Structures are given as structure tokens and as C-alpha cells.
Amino acid sequence: MSRDIFAKKAIEEIPKILTLLDRNPHSPTYGCFDRNYWHYKIIDFPSGMSQEFVWPLALVYSTNISENPFYQKEVLKDWVCAGISFAAKSSHNDSSCDDYYPYEMAAGAAAFSLLAFIESYKAFDLNDEKFIDFFCKRADWLAGHDESGRLSNHQALIVLCLELMSDLLKTSRWDRKKQDRLEKVLSWQDDEGWFQEYEGCDPGYHTLTISLLARVYDLNPGNSRLREALIRAVNLAAHFIHQDGTYGGEYASRNTNNYFPHGFELVGKWEPDALFINDRFAEALSNNMAPCYSDDHILGHHTWNYLLTWRDYISKRPNLPLEKKPERTWLKNAGILIDRRKNTDIYIALNKGGVFKVFSDSKLICSDTQMSLLVKKGNKLKNAVGHLIDDYQVSVSNDTISVKGKLGWAKQKQMTYLNMLILRMIMLSIGRFFPDTIRRILQWLLITGKQNADFYFERIFTWKDECWEVCDRLKSNCWESVESAVICCDQTSIYIAMSRTFHVGQLSPNINLSNRLSGLKPGEILEVRRKIK
């Protein structure tokens, strides 16, 4: 059952992927998977990332289960070839491609799509020199390009692309570049086992990095250093599989609930504990507890990863349960504390103001992303939140955990006509020569940059009477400017493509504190106490 559930969930996405594809062989955009570009005509360039959708089509072609209407349908080969051809035609002269804006030259989009092209080319046993020339040119560009920001999954992805190209062409052309990239990824693995993603540990993207590096190891099984890194990574991932089989969440650095299972099957060939993690997640998938990734831009990653999991599934699985985790795991470098007692597990992001999730008896009983205030500043409303990554004051003892600091202003920047026009003018002039500088500025504006707000909080967790009590205190000298206050179950405030997906845990109600604001004087404290049962 657990094997087929991965294929079934992936196959459910294939009709949508085909809807996104221009399937008209006489169309000038034949093979384009960006429906906003070729059909709606509401954007002026196609997203290069969308072309990775050729890989799910290539995989579903050979997925032999009864519920697969796409099995061995020859037209899929035509559409895959069209997708690769359109990618080559729509790329820049150096073979790079864009994702969010013109002349972005996005490494992630270029690498994800190249991986898809190589694997699809192999799956259909194609023989096309034009495709090979295109692949080589893009591999050269990726090998020589360094993007801003620490994104371990992107670096691992580029290593895998170069490894697959080397294997396809039987060449040593990229050997030095492969080794340098792999060294970079391994150097970004913390002693706690996690790989750096922007400002810290994101368990979701961590599983993607595991998937990519496990493929690299499969091609180089003698690399003992990579094997040890994968073991540490899988052991770390085991901490984040929840009682209900869900994984990760808003307590992570990039706020994702991602789970990419394929790498755990590959590692499971020589480290059986990895298979238990997949089995637990498969239960959540079967019970419709997994997040929804059916977004036009992000549904590809999980679709091909699920199909690979079905393909490489290990039928002989160990009977012993996953080793019981210690009562408390404090990942100090990651800023995450996990406490397990009396069948109650709490996950606390101490570097995000005490964002937490509590599970008991195999159910999510509380999800909390800290206080959120709507504050009037002049003639504008701004959002002050307690869940941005920062260096908060933290105290941890056996039964009491506290974190305190300042709220921060949420990132809610939207594109306006003027902003869009300015960005286009910059990218069509000098910006096209400095795409990484533009990317770095946008990363600061949308992700990493932080501004403190004049609100001081303290959150205290106390284990008492066999449950957790949470006390929130918020102090301000400008209560009169606060229009509303809530504690949300799933609020995030930075731009991450794979975050803000729906999952059933988000049906938990928010806590509205607005009726407690009236009468608060400057310097007074708003206090909220709860028992999490």
C-alpha cells in the first residue's frame, strides 16, 4: 500500500501538468508549460522552471500500476521532446533561463529543468545532438555560476546535474567543478546534521537536499564522506516526522512542510532506519494529511519525487520500529527544541520567538506562530509579528522554557505598476549584466532583511500537571496604534516559493485578542495564559 500511494498522488497531478502545457504542435509556443505565458498572455516571458514538468511525464510513462491511464502512451514522448525544445528556444544565449522576472538568470530554474531534461532524455532513450549541445551549454553555465544566498538544495542540485551529464557523455569535463560544489554543500552541513537554507535549518528543504545527494552517492558509492553526511542528515530528519506522519512546518527557517521521500528509499538500501521515516509519511499521505502542492509553479518537484519513490521503492522493509527519540532534543545551532513526554511532543523554534507545534496521541493539538498585530503607522497599516528569525534571549531548564525579544515588521511588499515598471526598466538595461546583485537586493527585501518593531514580548512554556502551559506577555508604549491582535496557527511573513501551502492542520482556529486591547495604557502588559491539552 505505501508504495502505490506515492504513485497515485503523483498521477493525480498529471492532468493539471498537461493542462499547463501547450500541446498544439503548430503553435509557436508548443512545449511551453507556463500557461500564464502561452494561453492567458498575462506575462511577457515564460518561466524556465515550468519546463521541469517534462520529467513527471517521462516517469509516468513507465509507471506500471492499474490506476495509471498514462502508462506507455507514446504521445507523452512527443510532449517531452517539445518541452525540451521550447526550453532551448526560450533560454538566453548562454543557456540560462528566467523564473520570476526578465534576465533573472535563475540558477534554481536552470538546474531543476536541466535535471528533468537529462533524466527524460535517458528515460526515452533519445538521440538528438541539438539536445545534447543545449544540455552541455547549460551545464557549463551552472558550473561557472555562483548565486547569492546559502541554498544547499540548489548546490546539491547542480552537483547532481554535472554528475549526470558526466555519466551521460562519459567525460571528465566537469570533475573539478563537481568536487568544488560538493565540498561547498558538505561544508554547509551543520554539526547537528542539517544543511543551511538561508538563515538556518529548514527540515523540508533538508529532505530535498537528501534526495539529491543520495542520487549523487548512488553514482559514486565509494564516497565515504558523502555517505557519512547522508547518515547524519537522515538521523536529523527523523526528529521532524511528527506523531501524525506530517513533517516540518512553520517552526523551520523557510516555513515549509515539504517532504521529499525519494532520498530515504535510496539511503534505506544501506541504512534501513531511513525507510521508517518514509513509512510514517506514507501513512499521512494515505490519510490526506500531507500539504497540497497543486500550485502552477511548485507541483513539479513533489510529483517527480513521488514517482521516483515508487520506482525505487524497497520491498523488503525492516519490522522493528524507528528508534525512540530522547525526551529532549535541543538543536542549539538550528534554534529548535523538541521535547517529548507523556505522549506529548512539542516543537519550539526558539530563534523564531517561540513558534511551536504540539502533538499528542498521534494528533496535532496546537499550532502557534506567535503574536501578530495590525498597527497604524501614519495613514498606513503595518503588521508586527513575533515569528521572524532573530537572536532572541532564551532560557531553557527542565520544565520551563522562555524566549523574549522584540516583534519585527512583517514583509508584505507587493508589486505595484510603478515597481514592476522600474524592475523591467532596470532588468532590460543595466540589470541584465548584474542579475545576481538584483537577486541579492530582492532577497534582502523579501526574505532576510529585518526591522524591529517597538513591541516587547516574552513567551514562557511550563510543563505542569502533565501538560504544557504557555504564557505570553506583550508590552508596548503605543497601544493606541494597535488596531487588532491575534495569535495565528500558520502565519508566515517572508517570501518562500514552497511555503504557505494548505494542510489540514491550518483548520485550527486563530486566537483573537483584539477585544483585550481597549483600556491598555502605554507601558502596560497584555498577558495571555493557556493550557495546551
For the chain, domain boundaries: 333-411+449-532
Helix (H) or strand (E) holding 479: none
How many angstroms separate the CA atoms of 396 and 403, rounded?
9
Residues 238-258: tens digit of each pLDDT: 999 999 999 999 999 999 999
Mean residue pLDDT of the chain comes to 93
Q: Is the dihedral of CA 87, 93, 95, 99 positive or negative?
A: negative
Q: Which of 300, 255, 291 is nearest to 49 (CA)?
A: 300
pLDDT of residue 434: 80
Q: Per residue of the chain (533 residues), what is the pLDDT tens digit?
A: 589 999 999 999 999 999 999 999 999 999 999 999 999 999 999 999 999 999 999 999 999 999 999 999 999 999 999 999 999 999 999 999 999 989 899 999 999 999 999 999 999 999 999 999 999 999 999 999 988 778 999 999 999 999 999 999 999 999 999 999 999 999 999 999 999 998 899 999 999 999 999 999 999 999 999 999 999 999 999 999 999 999 999 999 999 999 999 999 999 999 998 999 999 999 999 999 889 999 888 999 999 999 999 999 999 888 766 666 779 999 999 999 999 998 999 999 999 999 999 999 999 999 999 999 999 988 889 999 999 989 899 999 999 999 999 999 998 777 787 888 888 888 888 878 888 888 778 777 777 778 899 999 999 999 999 999 999 999 999 999 999 999 999 999 887 888 889 988 899 889 999 999 988 999 999 999 999 98
pLDDT of residue 411: 82
Residues 75 and 397 sit within 8 Å (Cβ to Cβ): no
pLDDT of residue 320: 65
How many angstroms separate the CA atoms of 323 and 321, rounded?
6
pLDDT of residue 393: 97
Residues 522-532: tens digit of each pLDDT: 999 999 999 99
pLDDT of residue 378: 87
Residues 180 and 144 sit within 8 Å (Cβ to Cβ): no
Residues 122 and 160 sit within 8 Å (Cβ to Cβ): no
